[in-house]
């Protein structure tokens, strides 16, 4: 988690959308942990401009989707954040052929092997790139203060090359020049935290740090309000603001 799989896929998706002549359609689907066959089918159909009745049988929908994708010719289907083994047949996804591509991001190696994908492991950032990313997000003033440099480098080391962790911590420390605050930040990042299933402890530690450094308890409550929604849920800003006012 937090290594940058989805970010890479977004770049890939944007590049593919420019190659109109090579592929007839590029489809992006965010699967997430609570996998639902009907939801995946509907998401693919929607991007193809097709809407089926909600009560349509999954098997019938799979057959229709299979025919539509086959007729489309060359396509790219990106399934982002796949947590469990997925039957392409049940969804209605043809085995990629004639130049069509199926691209999957997942934390689970057995998911890749089940789908017989070519495995591409996402590495963490090397030390130099991690430091460059941190400086880009925190601001160049860190380099001007020799007292902060060793502490900042220790903080980056705690992020273990994970882009999400680096960006999160750097954003929290942006504009802070007090050496004691930087030392406190380093101490907080080295403390142990209670694990969460499916989330690397290193990532959780950085997220905990970012949460603790929100400006006040009210803002923390507003943030936690968002956690009540399901993953990848389309949150209405208007409804969210009403809930925040009620807090």
Q: Is 100 exposed, middle or buried, given 0-12, 13-18 or 19+ CB atoms closer than 10 A?
A: buried
What is the DSSP track for 197-236? TTB-HHHHHHHHHHHHTSSSHHHHHHHHHHTTSPTT----
| Mean pLDDT taken over the chain | 86
Q: Are 214 and 223 in contact (CB under 8 A)?
A: yes
Mean pLDDT of 36-63: 86
Single pTM value for the model: 0.76
Mean pLDDT of 66-93: 91
Q: pLDDT, tens digit, for every residue of 80-115? A: 999 889 999 999 999 888 889 999 999 889 999 999
Residue 183, CA atoms < 13 Å, CB-side half-sphere? 4
Tell whether the model's pLDDT for residue 53 goes beyond 50.
Answer: yes
Mean pLDDT of 53-62: 83
**Which of 212, 118, 218, 129 is CA-nearest to residue 173?**
212
Strands (E), the chain: 25-32, 75-82, 101-104
Amino acid 234: pLDDT: 83
Torsion angle (degrees, nearest 10) of CA 64, 69, 71, 73: 180
Tell whether the model's pLDDT for residue 54 goes beyond 80.
Answer: no
Amino acid 196: pLDDT: 47
Q: pLDDT, tens digit, for every residue of 181-219? A: 999 888 888 875 554 444 556 667 777 888 888 878 888
Tell whether the model's pLDDT for residue 232 goes beyond 80.
Answer: no
Least confident interval from 37-46, 137-146, 154-163, 170-179: 137-146
């Amino acid at each position: 988690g937090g290594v940058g799989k989805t970010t890479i896929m977004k770049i890939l998706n944007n590049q593919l959308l420019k190659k109109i002549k090579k592929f007839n359609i590029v489809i992006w689907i965010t699967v997430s942990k609570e996998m639902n066959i009907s939801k995946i089918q509907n998401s693919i159909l929607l991007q193809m401009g097709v809407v089926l009745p909600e009560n349509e049988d999954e098997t019938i929908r799979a057959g229709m989707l299979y025919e539509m994708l086959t007729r489309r010719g060359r396509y790219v289907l990106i399934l982002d954040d796949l947590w469990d083994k997925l039957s392409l047949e049940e969804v209605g996804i043809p085995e990629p052929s004639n130049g069509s591509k199926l691209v999957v991001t997942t934390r689970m190696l057995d998911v890749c092997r089940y789908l017989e994908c070519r495995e591409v492991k996402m590495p963490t950032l090397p030390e130099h790139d991690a430091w460059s990313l941190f400086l880009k997000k925190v601001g160049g003033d860190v380099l001007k203060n020799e007292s902060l440099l060793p502490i900042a480098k220790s903080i980056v080391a705690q992020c273990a090359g994970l882009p999400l962790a680096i960006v999160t911590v750097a954003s929290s420390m942006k504009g802070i020049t007090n050496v004691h605050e930087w030392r406190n930040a380093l101490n907080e990042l080295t403390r142990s935290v209670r694990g969460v299933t499916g989330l690397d402890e290193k990532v959780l530690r950085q997220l905990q740090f970012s949460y603790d450094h929100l400006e006040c308890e009210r803002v923390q409550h507003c943030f936690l309000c968002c956690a009540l929604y399901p993953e990848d849920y389309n949150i209405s800003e208007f409804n969210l603001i009403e809930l925040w006012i009620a807090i």
